[in-house]
């Protein structure tokens, strides 16, 4: 695999960005500065990063309730993300979406999604549009292991396969749907095998190895751009935090988290980078400091922003109609 | 008397019936060891075991569909969907199957099932986790719909719903789960279609249910200071509907305000207004008013959400506009 | 008591080669079916105890459950109870425990990579390998029932293992004066800069190929050498070639459905005891039996040697023949 040092550094930077953003969001939630449902991506950074590093700016992604990582990896701006978590007017969704619904159409981000399984077919639609218009764009569709029990998953794979659509289905298999372990929600361990029924390639990769994800997605994207149809890539990974902030995680067997922490994707990449002199320790420290500053800047930006004017509540239900507001 | 929260009341209702009848069982996403996303089923897994308190995969179609099938052959399932918003995913099973099978089959089947659906906004859960969709369910012939507002009613309605041989949609308001209430030591089943007059009054009838019962009672207190004596009716059961209680009250007050958390357009509140206009028009001496959420999805940001959802002030304002 | 060990690799049959070549998917349910047939074949022929490696899909328990439910299970199945890492570590651990339990035979389900992991520590226990992986040279395509019967013959300890098995060759890779790893079939030096998704398929990045055996009718890197010369399991040597873009090209089956023209130097024979030393000039990886395993950077020295320190590989047909000739199957 030919991959430049710049790409390696870029991927490393993305992973660290996600980690630091999420850690900060976690603290802000604990402090009560951020509310609602917040699902963190800590531990799974290599997946979004490896996938989006294989995409162009004009490619699409669909995301999930656990979307911060996907959005950052696809080039989302931390400032607007953070402001959205705060519900501020300057946020990506002007405060209307919150953590679960961040979108950035200019970056091909078709939105985080609060409905488990909703992204599968939206991705199919984006793929259909690319095929219809004859562009070579692709759509990467992120979804969790537990979402593969929704009919939408099966419908989406079937349609994408039948119409040979440029969709890369990325299953983030973190072993749980909220409290229900994979063994209790489906009678298989490798979701990749579900591809067989739809006659598309399905593979399993180490989702905590950014290079493994990157390499697999490169191949799948190349295939999709050539009109050879969709691919299902299952990335085995683990979420370190609870399902949402506030989840006591009583359902986890003892030792499981610690075991997975040993496979932390970030030190793995760091080791590679240092061993192969892609960066020096000093450069790496500098990069980390830069990202720390960026996160702080995002928080300050969010804190300094205003809450939206209530009159805005009735805007954007439609492109044209403005709904009636309140007199109070 | 004893104190239970609304959530505990729901659980208590299920528990009583589960102890009584081995055919009653619960299933849904994370309802087992986790105790449900809002903790409503906590402890039931330990008490009844995984046969009767089952975690399902994320498959709302299968959850509702399996309940229909199990009910059709004699069990009394209580499926739970984590949020009413996810009923959309299981809607075929609910609307085309559960609601219609008995009728289509010429009355040959019974479908005793209770579908639990946490509803409503107010928890910064944004557009896909905050809706109030009661109008969808009340619109469908074949479904019964209840919506308790307190622990005592939660128990009483649950007891009746489980014993009912028809599909019953059991709506719950997620902001009420932790609200404590006084509960009789032995709660009797509350017949469906029996409203509860929460406050008697002579000047205006406020018809409501669920969380808006609290807003309406608060509004009634505020109105009292202005010399307006409001009657507050908690419907409890949206279908069957206690028309008698409504008409009785209207005959007394001649003014009606209907309060619900739904988007106003196409709401169940609208249906209530239509029923009154249809059947009780000559008793009204003012327009029938609806206080609802705005016709928008529910926004995330706290101030926007508060603006979109109705509150006690809106009720006061609506009432005052009638005088 | 006659016992056997079974190591079914839960990870085989689903890697990236389903995407970059035309390889088949072998899911874990299929492996369960095979394990079931092995056990049924073995228990009918005197095996009383079957030890199994634990895995995330619980293949062992699933088989046990299935055969108990159908009333067919006569032997005892013991799935080792240790903390599953869900990595190759589980294989190492299981092989070590099978050694402690003194099993008469180990049956593997997997590909070349699986067998390589088993070979590291199998010592004197005879090995039957069933192919459930991709591009395999080492394991055989054999029916599970037949493998189970052969395993029973072997585990009976009634026959000299030289009558049905041979000790395999391996490639030993040393660095910094220590044995770093082994390969059963081939070791490949590649400019591919990371282990990544493990499988190796990019021919343009290959520098050198070492083989313990080679044949043009096999698939993968050993076929590259096989295109020039055949080296059998019996030969007391191996060989290596360097990829040479300017050399005359031969069409080689590199992966399932992928036949490519490849130019190499003439094979250089590596006799037992001979060392080939190579020092890296850039970043890269060494792939062992088709999987990238070792990442290296510039100026690292590796030594490649061929030896006969591999496992006792059972010829299933021969084992059953030995049984038949000696009345082992007579009721
Ligand atoms: C249709 C629907 N059903 C249920 C939920 C509630 N819910 C949100 S996330 C989740 C678990 C999702 O698990 P998985 O798809 O594996 O993603 P993960 O959270 O592990 O990243 C559930 C049940 C939902 N949001 N939408
Ligand atoms: Mg998951």
Closest-approach residue (CA) in chain A for C194: A211
CB-based contact C197 A206, cutoff 8 Å: yes
Which chains pack against C, by 3+ Cβ pairs within 8 A? A
pLDDT of residue A169: 98
For residue A2, what pLDDT band results from cuts at 50, 70 and 90? Answer: confident
Helix or strand (DSSP H, E) at C277 = strand C275-279
- Separation CA C48–CA B235 (nearest Å): 70
pLDDT value at B243 more than 70:
yes
Asked if C105 and C78 touch (Cβ cutoff 8 Å), the reply is: no
B58 touches chain A (CB under 8 A): yes
Q: Give the number of whichever ligand sits closest to the CA of residue A39.
A: 1
pLDDT tens digits, one per residue of A165-214: 999 999 999 999 999 999 999 999 999 999 999 999 999 999 999 999 99
Residue with tokens 């030591």: B185
From B58, B89, B301, residue closest to A87, measured CB to CB: B301
Q: Give the number of whichever ligand sits closest to the CA of residue B61.
A: 1
Q: Show the 3-state SS of A66-90.
A: CCHHHHHHCCCCHHHHHHHHCCCCC
CB-based contact A323 B123, cutoff 8 Å: no
Q: Choosing among C193, C196, C198, C295, which should be mutated to test the A contact, i.e. which has the most A CBs within 10 A?
A: C196
Read off the pLDDT of each residue in B225-247 and give the average, rounded to a whole number: 98
- Cβ contacts of A289 within 8 Å, gap of 6 or more: none
pLDDT of residue A1: 64
- Separation CA A44–CA A262 (nearest Å): 13
pLDDT of residue C1: 83
CATH 3.40.50.1700 for domain A5-314: no
- State if residue A29 touches ligand 1 by the CB under 6 angstroms criterion: no
CB-based contact B126 A97, cutoff 8 Å: yes
- State if residue A116 touches ligand 1 by the CB under 6 angstroms criterion: yes
Atom of ligand 1 nearest to the CA of B37: 6
B321 touches chain A (CB under 8 A): no
- Cβ contacts of C63 within 8 Å, gap of 6 or more: C32, C35, C36, C39, C52, C77
- Separation CA B115–CA B54 (nearest Å): 15
pLDDT averaged over chain A? Answer: 97
Q: Nearest Cα to B6, choosing from B149, B127, B168, B118?
A: B149
CB-based contact A202 C25, cutoff 8 Å: yes
Chain C residues touching residue A196 (CB < 8 angstroms): 25, 27
Question: For domain B2-183, which architecture applies?
Answer: 3-Layer(aba) Sandwich (3.40)
Read off the pLDDT of each residue in A218-235 and give the average, rounded to a whole number: 98
Read off the pLDDT of each residue in A230-244 and give the average, rounded to a whole number: 98
Read off the pLDDT of each residue in C67-71 and give the average, rounded to a whole number: 96
pLDDT value at A3 more than 90:
no
For residue C25, what pLDDT band results from cuts at 50, 70 and 90? Answer: confident
Read off the pLDDT of each residue in C279-290 and give the average, rounded to a whole number: 94
Cα-flanking dihedrals φ and ψ of residue B176, to 5°? Answer: -95, -10
From A193, A231, A272, residue closest to C25, measured CB to CB: A193
CB-based contact A189 C57, cutoff 8 Å: yes
> Would you call B129 a catalytic residue per the annotation?
yes
Asked if A213 and A46 touch (Cβ cutoff 8 Å), the reply is: yes
Query: Domains along chain C?
Result: 3-168+311-325 (3.40.50), 170-307 (2.60.200.30)
- Separation CA B60–CA A150 (nearest Å): 8
pLDDT tens digits, one per residue of B268-302: 999 999 999 999 999 999 999 999 999 999 999 99
Q: What is the percent of chain C where pLDDT is above 70?
A: 100
Q: Choosing among A38, A66, A96, which should be mutated to test the B contact, i.e. which has the most B CBs within 10 A?
A: A96
Candidate list B54, B129, B198, B289, residue with the active-site label? B129
Tokens for C71?
């009333």
The pick from A37, A70, A118, A146 for probing ligand 1's pocket by mutation, whose C-beta has the most ligand atoms within 8 angstroms, reads A146
Chain B residues touching residue A328 (CB < 8 angstroms): 313-314, 317
CATH 3.50.50.60 for domain B196-320: no
- State if residue A175 touches ligand 1 by the CB under 6 angstroms criterion: no
Chain C residues touching residue A216 (CB < 8 angstroms): 16, 19, 197
CA C260 / ligand 2 centre spacing (Å): 40
Quick count: other Cβ atoms within 10 Å of Cβ B22? 12
Chain A residues touching residue C18 (CB < 8 angstroms): 192, 195, 201-203
From C20, C85, C193, residue closest to A219, measured CB to CB: C20
- Separation CA C154–CA C323 (nearest Å): 9
B314 touches chain A (CB under 8 A): yes
Q: What is the percent of chain A where pLDDT is above 70?
A: 100
CB-based contact C57 A188, cutoff 8 Å: yes
Length, in residues, of chain C: 331
- Separation CA C146–CA C136 (nearest Å): 19
Atom of ligand 1 nearest to the CA of A116: 26
From C10, C27, C196, residue closest to A212, measured CB to CB: C196
- Separation CA C14–CA C250 (nearest Å): 29
Kindly write down the DSSP assignment for every residue of B118-142, as one continuous string. EE---SS--TTS----HHHHHTSTT
Read off the pLDDT of each residue in A115-144 and give the average, rounded to a whole number: 98
pLDDT of residue C133: 73
Read off the pLDDT of each residue in B223-228 and give the average, rounded to a whole number: 97
Domain ranges of chain A: 5-314
3-state secondary structure of B58: coil
Task: Give alpha helix (H) positions in C54-211.
Answer: 59-69, 88-100, 112-119, 144-155
From B58, B296, B303, residue closest to A149, measured CB to CB: B58
- Separation CA C122–CA C120 (nearest Å): 6
Nearest-CA distance from C297 to chain A in Å? Answer: 6
**CA dist B237 → B9, B163, B279 (Å):** 16, 15, 19
End-to-end CA distance of chain B: 40
- Separation CA A300–CA C139 (nearest Å): 61
Atom of ligand 1 nearest to the CA of A143: 15
pTM of structure: 0.95
Kindly write down the DSSP assignment for every residue of B24-43, as one continuous string. EEEEETT-STT--TTSTTTT
pLDDT value at C99 more than 70:
yes
- State if residue A243 touches ligand 1 by the CB under 6 angstroms criterion: yes
Question: Between C86 and B103, where is the model more confident?
Answer: B103
**CA dist B265 → A135, B290, C36 (Å):** 41, 10, 62
pLDDT tens digits, one per residue of C124-158: 999 999 998 777 899 999 999 999 999 999 999 99
Please report the beta strands in chain A, taking only residues with DSSP state E, as ranges in sequence order: 60-62, 139-144, 167-173, 176-177, 180-181, 202-206, 231-236
CB-based contact A276 C16, cutoff 8 Å: no
pLDDT of residue B115: 98
- State if residue A114 touches ligand 1 by the CB under 6 angstroms criterion: yes
- Interchain contact C/B (3 or more Cβ pairs less than 8 Å): no
Read off the pLDDT of each residue in B198-223 and give the average, rounded to a whole number: 98
Asked if A269 and A208 touch (Cβ cutoff 8 Å), the reply is: no
Read off the pLDDT of each residue in A74-81 and give the average, rounded to a whole number: 98
Chain A residues touching residue C60 (CB < 8 angstroms): none
pLDDT averaged over chain C? Answer: 95
Q: What is the percent of chain B where pLDDT is above 90?
A: 100
Q: Give the number of whichever ligand sits closest to the CA of residue A143.
A: 1
Same fold for the pair B2-183 and B196-320: yes
Q: Choosing among B219, B300, B303, which should be mutated to test the A contact, i.e. which has the most A CBs within 10 A?
A: B300
pLDDT of residue C317: 97
**CA dist B51 → B24, B30, B40, B117, C99 (Å):** 11, 14, 18, 22, 41
- A327 exposure class (CB count in 10 Å sphere: 0-12, 13-18, 19+): exposed
């Amino acid at each position: 695999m030919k991959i430049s040092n710049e790409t390696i550094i870029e991927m490393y930077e993305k992973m660290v960005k996600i980690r630091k953003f999420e850690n900060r969001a976690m603290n802000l939630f604990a402090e009560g500065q951020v509310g609602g449902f917040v699902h963190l991506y800590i531990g799974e950074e290599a997946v979004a990063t490896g996938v989006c590093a294989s995409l162009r700016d004009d490619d699409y992604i669909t995301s999930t309730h656990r979307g911060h990582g996907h959005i950052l990896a696809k080039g989302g701006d931390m400032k607007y993300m953070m402001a959205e978590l705060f519900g501020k007017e300057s946020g990506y969704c002007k405060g209307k979406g919150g953590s679960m619904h961040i979108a950035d159409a200019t970056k091909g981000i078709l939105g985080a999604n609060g409905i488990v399984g909703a992204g599968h077919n939206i991705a199919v639609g984006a793929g259909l549009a690319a095929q219809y218009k004859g562009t070579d764009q692709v759509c990467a569709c992120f979804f969790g292991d537990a979402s593969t029990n929704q009919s939408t998953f099966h419908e989406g794979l079937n349609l994408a396969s039948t119409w040979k659509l440029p969709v890369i289905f990325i299953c983030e298999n973190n072993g749980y749907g909220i409290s229900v372990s994979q063994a209790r929600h489906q009678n298989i361990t490798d979701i990749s095998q579900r591809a067989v029924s739809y006659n598309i390639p399905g593979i399993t990769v180490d989702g905590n190895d950014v290079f493994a994800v990157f390499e697999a997605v490169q191949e799948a994207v190349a295939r999709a751009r050539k009109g050879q149809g969709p691919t299902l890539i299952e990335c085995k990974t683990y979420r370190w935090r609870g399902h949402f902030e506030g989840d006591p995680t009583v359902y986890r067997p003892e030792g499981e988290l610690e075991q997975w922490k040993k496979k932390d994707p970030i030190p793995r990449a760091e080791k590679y980078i240092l061993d192969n002199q892609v960066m020096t320790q000093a450069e790496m420290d500098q990069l980390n400091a830069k990202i720390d500053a960026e996160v702080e800047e995002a928080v300050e930006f969010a804190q300094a922003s205003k809450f939206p004017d209530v009159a805005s509540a009735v805007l954007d239900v439609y492109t044209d109609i403005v709904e009636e507001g309140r007199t109070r | 008397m004893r104190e239970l929260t609304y959530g505990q009341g729901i659980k208590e209702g299920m528990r009583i019936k589960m102890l009584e009848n081995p055919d009653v069982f619960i299933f849904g996403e994370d309802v087992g060891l986790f105790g449900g996303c809002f903790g409503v089923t906590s402890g039931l897994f330990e008490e009844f075991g995984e046969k009767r308190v089952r975690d399902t995969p994320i498959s709302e179609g299968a959850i509702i569909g399996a309940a229909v099938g199990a009910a059709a052959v004699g069990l009394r399932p209580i499926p739970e969907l984590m949020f009413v918003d996810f009923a959309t995913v299981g809607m075929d099973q609910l609307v085309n199957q559960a609601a219609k099978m008995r009728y289509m089959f010429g009355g040959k089947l019974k479908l005793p099932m209770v579908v639990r659906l946490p509803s409503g906004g107010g928890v910064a859960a944004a557009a896909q986790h905050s809706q109030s969709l009661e109008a969808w369910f009340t619109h469908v012939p074949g479904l019964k719909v209840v919506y308790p507002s307190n622990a005592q009613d939660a128990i009483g309605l649950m007891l009746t719903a489980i014993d009912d041989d028809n599909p019953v949609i059991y709506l719950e308001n997620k902001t009420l789960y932790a609200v404590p209430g006084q509960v009789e030591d032995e709660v009797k089943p509350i017949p469906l279609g029996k409203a509860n007059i929460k406050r008697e009054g002579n000047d205006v009838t406020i018809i409501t249910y669920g969380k808006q019962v609290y807003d309406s009672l608060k509004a009634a207190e505020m109105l009292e200071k202005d010399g307006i004596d409001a009657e507050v009716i908690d419907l409890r059961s949206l279908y069957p509907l206690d028309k008698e209680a409504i008409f009785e009250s209207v005959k007394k007050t001649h003014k009606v305000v209907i309060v619900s958390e739904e988007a106003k357009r196409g709401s169940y509140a609208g249906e209530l207004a239509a029923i009154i206009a249809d059947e009780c028009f000559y008793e009204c001496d003012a327009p029938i008013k609806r206080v609802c959420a705005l016709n928008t999805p529910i926004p995330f940001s706290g101030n926007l959400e508060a603006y979109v959802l109705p509150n006690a002030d809106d009720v006061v304002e609506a009432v005052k506009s009638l005088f | 008591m006659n016992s056997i060990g079974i190591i079914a690799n839960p990870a085989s049959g689903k890697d990236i080669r389903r995407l970059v070549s035309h390889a088949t998917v072998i899911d874990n349910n299929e492996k369960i079916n095979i394990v079931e047939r092995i056990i049924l074949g073995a228990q009918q022929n005197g095996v009383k105890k079957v030890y199994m490696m634990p895995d995330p899909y619980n293949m062992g328990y699933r088989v046990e459950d299935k055969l108990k439910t159908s009333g067919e299970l006569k032997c005892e199945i013991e799935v080792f109870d240790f903390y599953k890492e869900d990595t190759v570590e589980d294989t190492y651990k299981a092989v070590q425990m099978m050694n402690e339990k003194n099993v008469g035979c180990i049956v593997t389900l997997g590909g070349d990579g699986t067998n390589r992991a088993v070979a590291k520590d199998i010592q004197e226990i005879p090995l039957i390998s069933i192919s459930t992986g991709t591009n395999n040279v080492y394991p055989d395509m054999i029916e599970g029932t037949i493998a189970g019967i052969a395993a029973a013959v072997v585990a009976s300890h009634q026959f000299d293992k030289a009558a049905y098995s041979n000790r395999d060759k391996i490639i030993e890779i040393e660095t910094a004066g220590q044995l770093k790893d082994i390969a059963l079939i081939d070791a490949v030096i590649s400019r591919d800069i990371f282990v990544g998704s493990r499988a190796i398929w990019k021919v343009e990045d290959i520098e050198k190929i070492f083989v313990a055996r080679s044949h043009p009718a096999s698939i993968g890197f050993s076929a590259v050498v096989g295109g020039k010369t055949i080296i059998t399991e019996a030969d007391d040597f191996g060989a290596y070639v360097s990829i040479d873009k300017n050399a005359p090209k031969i069409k080689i089956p590199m992966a399932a459905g992928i036949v490519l023209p490849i130019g190499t130097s003439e094979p250089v024979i590596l006799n037992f005891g001979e060392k080939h030393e190579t020092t890296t000039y850039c970043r890269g990886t060494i792939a062992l039996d088709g999987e990238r395993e070792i990442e290296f950077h510039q100026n690292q020295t590796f030594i490649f040697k061929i030896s006969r320190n591999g496992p006792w590989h059972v010829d299933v047909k021969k084992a059953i023949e030995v049984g038949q000739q000696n009345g082992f199957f007579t009721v």
